[in-house]
Amino acid sequence: MKIGVDIDGTIKDTHRAAVEVYNKELNQSVRVEDVTDFYLDQAYGLTKQEGRRLWRKLEEEIYSLGVPLPHAAEVLNELEKRGHEIYFITARPGLKNIAKVTREWLKKHHFPYRDSHLIMDAQNKAKVAKRIGIDLFFEDAPFHLDKLVEQHVPTVIVDAVYNRDYPHPLRRIKDWREVYDIINEKS
Ligand SMILES: [Mg+2]
């Protein structure tokens, strides 16, 4: 199978890294547990525009920090060993510096990384998934889930506080080790 995997909030606890960087930048002490939105703006009292600007300024640092979600790397390596192809498909901008920290982070944390299997700037993940022929997609963000559902890309939600009330009935994992059962059922 070809497996599409988002990065932020799917294999990486990006919220935690972002809160750390935002706290330092804004001299605040927000706790990650208190951020329940997908975006950090409200927790820091920022307008949408301020939030967007700050994220652009800090994203390189945010992407270089932080740790994978538990068992994500281990499970994806095992899936590759079993003959599945892993594609990392992210909406992070395809800027040189951002691509570089993304690559380095994936390698540093021993994900099954290949240059040809990292797709940056995937604004429409359904479109990318169709082009590659992805059989199963892992995603956390409601905005991207919408497109994947619309285009009938088989998708699993990676559980997060901001997607708990997602309206479509998709499979949901809270732990990457649950993926083995899903793959076994499908193949
Ligand atoms: Mg994500």
pLDDT tens figures, 29-56: 999 999 999 999 999 999 999 999 999 9
Check whether residue 134 and residue 53 sit in a common domain: no
Check whether residue 83 and residue 145 sit in a common domain: yes
Check whether residue 108 and residue 145 sit in a common domain: yes
pLDDT in tens, 82-117: 999 999 999 999 999 999 999 999 999 999 999 999
Check whether residue 6 and residue 78 sit in a common domain: yes
Which uninterrupted H or E stretch holds 139?
strand 136-139
Structural domain including 50 reads 14-64
pLDDT in tens, 5-25: 999 999 999 999 999 999 999
Check whether residue 9 and residue 96 sit in a common domain: yes
Residues with catalytic function: 6, 8
Please tell me the predicted confidence (pLDDT) of residue 112: 97
Residue 187 tokens, joined: 């193949």
The rounded distance, in Å, linking the Cα atoms of 107 and 49 is 33
Please tell me the predicted confidence (pLDDT) of residue 186: 83
Check whether residue 123 and residue 181 sit in a common domain: yes
The single-letter code of the amino acid at 23 is N
Structure confidence at residue 61 as a pLDDT band (50, 70, 90): very high
Please tell me the predicted confidence (pLDDT) of residue 162: 94
| pTM for this predicted structure | 0.96
The rounded distance, in Å, linking the Cα atoms of 160 and 8 is 11
Q: In what order do the strands lie in the sheet with 136-139?
A: 118-119, 85-89, 2-5, 136-139, 155-158, 171-173
Check whether residue 94 and residue 162 sit in a common domain: yes
Expressed in angstroms and rounded, the spacing between residue 139 Cα and the centre of ligand 1 is: 6
Domain count across the chain: 2
Residue 132 tokens, joined: 């590659």
Check whether residue 88 and residue 98 sit in a common domain: yes
Expressed in angstroms and rounded, the spacing between residue 181 Cα and the centre of ligand 1 is: 22
Handedness of CA 33, 37, 42, 46 (dihedral sign): positive
Structure confidence at residue 187 as a pLDDT band (50, 70, 90): confident
Q: What is the CATH number for 121? A: 3.40.50.1000
Expressed in angstroms and rounded, the spacing between residue 141 Cα and the centre of ligand 1 is: 5
pLDDT in tens, 126-181: 999 999 999 999 999 999 999 999 999 999 999 999 999 999 889 999 999 999 99
Check whether residue 9 and residue 30 sit in a common domain: no
